[in-house]
Amino acid sequence: MSASVDRPVVVRARNVSKRHGATEAVADMSLDVHAGEVVALLGPSGCGKSTFLASIAGLVRIDGGTIDLADRRVSGNGVHVAPQDRRVGVVFQDHALFPHKTVADNVGFGLHALTRAERRSRVGDMLDLVQLADKGQRYPHELSGGESQRVALARALAPSPDVILLDEPFASLDPMLRSDVRDEVRSLLNLVGAAAVMVSHDIDDALALGDRLAVLRSGRIVQVDSPEEIHDRPLDEHVARIFGPVTVLPVRVTAEGPVTALGAVASSAVLAWAQGPVSLTRPHGVEVLVDSIGSTGDAVGTVRARHFVGHAARLVISLADGLEVLGDVPANSVLDIGAQVRVRHRNAQD
């Protein structure tokens, strides 16, 4: 758990639902976001991430449930506060800068309540913050992708909103730029200490920004936790797969402790899933040996498929009981389709 959970709740969403015609885009979502915390909503296309974000922003009217921002009801029970009155800053996927306004005028857009002098001073501070002080008179088409991302963030932050909402903020950036911009945005959000909710279908984006991850599926939040908890203790196989290929091994509890087909596992690695106790293993956590080298206690299997994954060759191995295990071997390994192998947990004691 991140330390931020001790801080006040800035976004309190309870049982939010939203239909688009026959589609239940958001079925029943509840989420707390604390001051200074970034929560990343993660899930495949169509699972309801954007609709939930738009509900918080006030861009859609919810059908059920309530949303409070900084202890003020903004949606639900007959209330719908307009987006511009929610003290929310939004950064869209395409940055949505006004093309015919300068960078400075884009950043100052939400500052109508200030005098001209106050606005100029605030815009200057925000441009300093995002390190674009020398680009205030440029137009959006004169900026790089990373710069326009920073302008969009400066514009969202300028009115000191209670919460920043980021909708796939890195999706339009090329991969080379992406990780630098992610780091910049992360440090800016830390610096201003705003609560933020970010939407992404990309685990790397979510990990770069999120103090906590909320994993969505079919309009529902399946699990909300720190990235470490989601990785180590996912609530089901779908969540486990967010971090890439995984083998789910049923666990038998014996007098000597928990055991899987690949050998003993620590009690702390056993997850209580609906189908019974299981333990997860990633392909690099499986040791694959030529049949004649393994010890008698190791599971015996046959290589069914092999594909190159860059740093290794990944094998799909069928065990005698039908279980399929993924195991990585060096890319130059002789083990190929049809080979008889023995497999065990890589950290297993002999």
Residues in contact with ligand ADP by CB under 6 A are: 20-21, 23, 25, 43, 45-51
Please, which residue, 17 or 50, has the CB nearer to ligand ADP?
Answer: 50
CB of 52 to ligand ADP, least distance (A): 7
User: What does the block give as tokens for 13?
Assistant: 């969403």
3-state secondary structure of 30: strand
State the Cα–Cα distance between residues 198 and 163, nearest whole angstrom.
Answer: 11
State the Cα–Cα distance between residues 333 and 345, nearest whole angstrom.
Answer: 18
CB of 83 to ligand ADP, least distance (A): 16
State the Cα–Cα distance between residues 297 and 342, nearest whole angstrom.
Answer: 9
Please, which residue, 135 or 212, has the CB nearer to ligand ADP?
Answer: 212
Please, which residue, 43 or 294, has the CB nearer to ligand ADP?
Answer: 43
Please, which residue, 20 or 304, has the CB nearer to ligand ADP?
Answer: 20
CB of 44 to ligand ADP, least distance (A): 7
Nearest-CA neighbor of 185 among 205, 212, 160, 162? 205
**Number of Cβ within a 10 Å radius of residue 61:** 11
Please, which residue, 8 or 44, has the CB nearer to ligand ADP?
Answer: 44
| H or E segment and range at residue 122 | helix 116-129
State the Cα–Cα distance between residues 24 and 42, nearest whole angstrom.
Answer: 18
State the Cα–Cα distance between residues 294 and 260, nearest whole angstrom.
Answer: 17
Amino acid at 331: A
CB of 80 to ligand ADP, least distance (A): 17
Please, which residue, 50 or 247, has the CB nearer to ligand ADP?
Answer: 50
CB of 93 to ligand ADP, least distance (A): 10
Please, which residue, 106 or 200, has the CB nearer to ligand ADP?
Answer: 200
| 156 φ/ψ angles, rounded to the nearest 5 degrees | -70, -35
The sheet that has 72-76: what strands, in order across it? 23-34, 9-20, 64-69, 72-76, 79-80
3-state secondary structure of 260: strand
Please, which residue, 48 or 327, has the CB nearer to ligand ADP?
Answer: 48
The sheet that has 257-260: what strands, in order across it? 252-254, 257-260, 263-264
CB of 199 to ligand ADP, least distance (A): 6
CA distance readout (Å), 171 to 26, 139, 202: 22, 21, 9
Kind of pairing, strands 9-20 and 23-34? antiparallel
CB of 230 to ligand ADP, least distance (A): 18
CB of 45 to ligand ADP, least distance (A): 4
